[in-house]
Homo-oligomer: A and B are copies of this chain.
Amino acid sequence: MKTFYYPQREQWGEILARPTQDNGDIACTCEKIFAQVRADGDTAVRHFTKKYDRVDITDLRVNEEEFAMAEEAVSEELKNAIRLAAANIEAFHRAQISEPVEWSDGRGLRCRQETRPIESVGLYVPGGTAPLFSTVLMLAIPARLAGCREIVLCTPPAADGSINPAILWTARLCDVERVYKAGGIQAVAAMTFGTQSIPAVCKIFGPGNRYVTAAKQLATAHGVAIDIPAGPSEVMVVADRSAIPAFVAADLLSQAEHSADSQVVLVTWTPEILPAVEAETERQLALLPRREMAEGVLRHSRTIVVRDRAEALSVVNEYAPEHLIISAEDYDDFADGVLNAGSVFLGNYSPESVGDYAAGTNHTLPTAGWARAYSGVNMDAFVKKITFQELTREGLERLGAAVVTMAENEQLTAHANAVAIRLGEYGTE
Q: Which of A284, A338, A340, A390 has most B Cβ within 10 Å?
A: A390
A166 within 8 A of B: yes
- A96 close to B (CB within 8 Å): yes
Tell whether A360 is near chain B: CB-to-CB under 8 Å: yes
Are A413 and B290 touching (Cβ within 8 A)? yes
In angstroms, Cα B341 to Cα A247, docked, is 49
B346 touches A413 (CB 8 A): no
CA distance A284 to B351 in the complex (A): 67
CB-based contact B388/A344 at 8 Å: yes
Assess A349 versus B396: contact at CB under 8 Å? Given A91-B103, A339-B119.
yes
- Whether the pair B359, A117 counts as a contact (CB closer than 8 A) is no
- Return the 3 tightest CB-CB contacts between A and B, nearest first: A225-B373, A81-B402, A351-B418
Cross-chain pairs A/B with CB under 8 angstroms, 25 sampled: A81-B405, A92-B101, A111-B361, A113-B361, A119-B317, A129-B411, A133-B410, A225-B374, A247-B422, A250-B418, A254-B415, A284-B417, A289-B413, A342-B387, A344-B388, A344-B389, A345-B388, A347-B391, A353-B415, A353-B418, A354-B400, A357-B402, A358-B402, A358-B406, A373-B384
Whether the pair B406, A134 counts as a contact (CB closer than 8 A) is yes
Residues of B within 8 A of A405 (CB): 77-78, 81
Task: Give the number of copies in the complex.
Answer: 2
**In the complex the two chains form, is A92's CB within 8 Å of B111's CB?**
yes
Query: Cα distance A287–B412 when bound, in Å?
Result: 13
A251 to chain B, nearest CB (A): 5
A37 at interface, CB cutoff 8 A:
no
Q: Are A422 and B253 in contact (CB under 8 A)?
A: no
Query: Assuming the A-B contacts A360-B103, A389-B343, A396-B349, are A223 and B368 also in contact, with contact meaning beta carbons closer than 8 angstroms in the complex?
Result: yes
Q: How close is A382's CB to chain B, nearest CB, in angstroms?
A: 10
Q: A220 to B421: give the CA distance in the assembly, Å.
A: 43
A348 and B422 contacting across the interface, CB-CB below 8 Å: yes
Given contacts A119-B340, A130-B410, contact A403 B101 (CB under 8 A): no
A105–B380 Cα distance when bound, in Å, is 22
Minimum C-beta distance from A341 to chain B (A): 6
The CA of A85 and the CA of B256, in the complex, are separated in Å by 53
A102 to chain B, nearest CB (A): 7
Chain B residue at minimal CB-CB distance from A224: B373
Is A359 within 8 A of B111, CB to CB? yes
User: A202-B372, A349-B396, A401-B81 known; A418 and B387 CB under 8 Å?
Assistant: no
A223 x B358 contact (CB < 8 A): no
- B91-A95 in contact (CB<8A): no
Looking at chain A's contact residues, the main secondary structure is mixed
B370 and A375: CB pair below 8 A?
Answer: no
Instruction: Determine the residue in chain B with the shortest Cβ distance to A135.
Output: B410
Asked, given contacts A229-B220, A421-B250, whether A101 binds B96 with beta carbons under 8 Å apart, the answer is yes
Task: Please state if A166 and B409 are interface contacts (CB–CB under 8 Å).
Answer: yes
Q: Separation in Å of the A385 CB from the closest CB of chain B?
A: 4
Contact present for A338 and B386 (CB under 8 Å): yes
Q: Are A402 and B362 in contact (CB under 8 A)?
A: no
Question: Contact at A386–B344, with CB atoms within 8 Å?
Answer: yes
Cβ of A207: which chain B residues have Cβ within 8 Å of it?
none
The answer to whether the Cβ of A54 comes within 8 Å of any Cβ in the partner chain is no
Additional A-B contacts beyond A80-B402, A349-B395, A353-B412 (4; CB < 8 A): A129-B411, A344-B388, A344-B389, A359-B399
How far, in angstroms, from A225 to B370 measured CA to CA in the complex? 8
> A302 at interface (Cβ–Cβ under 8 A)?
no
